């Protein structure tokens, strides 16, 4: 009987995946980090977790991508990345109010399978699902270093001159590559419909922290001199790109083998001459797109002309669509977050309209460009107000 129930559940997952990921269906994807809502709802309970999901559906989301980690704090029992060995008290009543409960949470042992709960509820509601994972191993240089890194300091990243930085373990080491790919396998075991790899949340990592022995040795063998002082030297970026690209390609290959979509997101994408993605991640997104490494690309942010906000957006979307290579789907942002001054707040200011009008216009532009959908970034509690949600109903 139990086996029959599991077969029926998996069949429902496959059926829902086909419906939600069908060609031509314009998607509205909500990225969700339950930690962001933990001061309002108790996300260590099923009830609180489902309340987060309920709130994230307010802007008429057709798919939710649930965050699996952040600042090395895992949202599920992770054999490869255990909970940090130095912890805050886990009694939430003892955490000072100004800090909030964030680092007191133990979502790896809250008594239920968070992802199974969320994914099954998405199936019940006919909503697509998946995982939002990040490049970061610690959140913008804060002290929550990953446990695996702390146990393996020999693999940590290094700045020029050899100064170690335990915020990341370098993929230049085969041991780190193997560790990272085992984490990919852990995610795939959760049976998501898609995995979104968020490159913006990179924990302040960049090729300037890749002056590790294997990379330096590769440089010396190739160029016969010491590595450059300038980490943005194209030759240095090329060395780092070899193993970073290898990881991304293998990430993609494993997803496809499991029948899971692989979507990647880049911030500050620019037209010809723009180097931000290359200098920051050592990834040539256009070349990888042409090779068909990505099932989808999310344009997380790009330059907006203050005098022509919507017109310049249309022009940039056309550029990305023309350069998407074999990436079947391209997603565009409708962000209420305004960290980079590129959210709907900024559009409203530039165009002299309301946030709701700006959101509606961005939705229309994404459709007109041929996008597969839009993405709402990390939908905190009531992040999108009622007027904006109403505008996103179309």
Q: Which of 346, 328, 329 is nearest to 337 (CA)?
A: 346
pLDDT above 90 (res 95): no
Range 371-384 average pLDDT: 92
Residue-level pLDDT at 21: 43
Q: What is the mean pLDDT of residues 299-306?
A: 95
Residue 104 to residue 92: CA distance in whole angstroms: 6
Between 81-85, 227-231, 349-353, the lowest mean confidence (pLDDT) is in 81-85
Of the ranges 6-15, 86-95, 139-148, 222-231, which one carries the lowest mean pLDDT score? 6-15
- pLDDT given at position 157: 96
Domains and CATH numbers, the chain: 2-391 (3.20.20.80)
Where is average pLDDT lowest: 31-45, 207-221, 304-318, 345-359? 31-45
Give the per-residue pLDDT at 121. Answer: 98
**Average pLDDT for 302-309:** 96
Distance CA 225, CA 386 (A): 60
In this predicted structure, what is the pLDDT of residue 143? 60
pLDDT score, position 87: 58
CA distance linking residue 59 with residue 382, whole number of Å: 9
pLDDT of res. 262: 98
Q: Compute the distance between CA of residue 394 and CA of residue 388 in angstroms, rounded to an integer.
A: 11
Q: Which residues contact 65 (CB under 8 A, 6 or more apart)?
A: 29, 30, 31, 32, 129, 130, 131, 132, 194, 196
Rounded Cα distance, 324 and 186, in Å: 29
């Amino acid at each position: 009987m139990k086996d029959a129930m599991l077969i029926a559940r998996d069949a429902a997952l496959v059926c829902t995946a086909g419906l939600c990921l069908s060609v031509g269906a314009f998607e509205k994807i909500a990225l969700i980090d339950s930690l962001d809502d933990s001061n309002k709802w108790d996300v260590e309970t099923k009830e609180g977790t489902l309340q987060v999901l309920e709130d994230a559906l307010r802007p008429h989301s057709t798919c939710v991508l649930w965050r699996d980690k952040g600042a090395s704090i895992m949202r599920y029992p992770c054999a490869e990345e255990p909970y940090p060995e130095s912890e805050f008290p886990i009694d939430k009543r003892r955490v000072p109010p100004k800090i909030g409960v964030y680092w007191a949470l133990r979502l790896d042992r809250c008594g239920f399978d968070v992802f199974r709960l969320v994914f099954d509820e998405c199936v019940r509601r006919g909503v697509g699902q998946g995982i939002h994972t990040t490049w970061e191993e610690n959140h913008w240089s804060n002290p929550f270093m990953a446990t695996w890194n702390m146990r393996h300091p020999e693999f940590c990243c290094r700045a020029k001159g050899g100064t170690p930085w335990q915020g990341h373990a370098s993929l230049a080491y085969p041991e780190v590559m193997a560790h990272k790919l085992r984490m990919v396998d852990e995610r795939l075991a959760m049976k998501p419909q898609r995995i979104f790899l968020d490159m913006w949340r990179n924990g302040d990592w960049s090729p300037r922290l890749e002056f590790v022995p294997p990379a330096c040795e590769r440089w010396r063998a190739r160029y016969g001199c010491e590595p450059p002082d300038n980490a943005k030297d194209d030759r240095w970026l090329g060395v780092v790109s070899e193993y970073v690209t290898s990881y991304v390609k293998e990430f993609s290959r494993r997803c496809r083998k499991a029948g899971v979509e692989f979507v990647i997101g880049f911030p500050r994408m620019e037209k010809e001459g723009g180097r931000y993605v290359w200098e920051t991640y050592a990834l040539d997104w256009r070349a990888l797109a042409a090779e068909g490494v990505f099932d989808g690309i999310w344009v997380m942010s790009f330059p907006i002309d203050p005098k022509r906000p919507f017109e310049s957006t249309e022009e940039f979307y056309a550029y990305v669509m023309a350069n998407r290579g074999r990436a079947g789907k391209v997603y565009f942002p409708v962000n209420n977050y305004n960290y980079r001054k590129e959210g709907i707040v900024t559009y409203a200011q530039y165009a002299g309209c309301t946030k709701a009008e700006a959101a509606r216009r961005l939705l229309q532009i994404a459709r007109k460009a041929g996008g597969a959908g839009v993405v709402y970034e990390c939908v905190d509690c009531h992040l999108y107000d009622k007027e904006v949600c109403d505008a996103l109903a179309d």
